[in-house]
Structure formats: C-alpha cells, structure tokens
Structure 1
Amino acid sequence: MHFLQWRPSTSLCGYYIFNHLWLDLTCHYVVLTKFFNKQLGLLFRSRSLYYCLAFIVSIWNE
C-alpha cells in the first residue's frame, strides 16, 4: 500500500491524476454496464470500488 502515501510535494499532483483516473473509470463503467454483459460490469464495479477506497485512504493519510 506504499503507493498511497504520496509526499506532500506530489500529493496535489497525485490528487489530480487520481481524479482524472476516477472520471475515466466512471465513464467506462457506464459504458460497460450499458453495452456489455452484467458479468463484465460486476467485475469492473468491484475494481472501481477498490480504486475509490484507495483514494479515500490516500486522503485520510495526508
């Protein structure tokens, strides 16, 4: 979990990178659930949830 502990100088940069990543994941999740089968959507949802939790933990560790 060491990748979550950004240095103060890079935390803002990391925040923006993660924000854009989260937007991309959300967008892809909508596409997957609309146009692909539910199994693939469920797999992606669990991965998105992990990224969301990792982001929350990274903020908590600031």
Structure 2
Amino acid sequence: MLVTLTAAGERLRNAAESAVAETQADILAPLDERERQLLCQLLKKVADENNSLSRVPIRQEAGI
C-alpha cells in the first residue's frame, strides 16, 4: 500500500516542520551540542530496541 499526501497535506506538513524545529530547539536549549547528540542517540536506541513491542512496528528497509 502506498500513501501520499494531498497538496493541502503537503502544505500543512511544511508549515508544521518549522514549528517542530523551533520547539525542539527550545526543549534542547539547556544541553550543549555533545549532550544533544548523546540524548538523540540514546532515544533512538530506546525506540529502535522497542520497535517490536509497538502496535504498529516500523519495518526497516535494507540499507536504511
């Protein structure tokens, strides 16, 4: 199954991206760059290792 956004959905996604980036910057502001990278690495590890427990696990494609 392939799902694509409508033009309106694409505009909404684009508008949301800047708001998400600003919020993420605000949340991570207390951390220096090294700490931010470490936090993101650890959160990715937790998400990846628990993917199989999800009700809708993300299937990893080869090479991704």
Same fold? TM cut 0.5 = no
Name the TM-score, length of structure 1 as normaliser: 0.42
Higher share in helix? 1
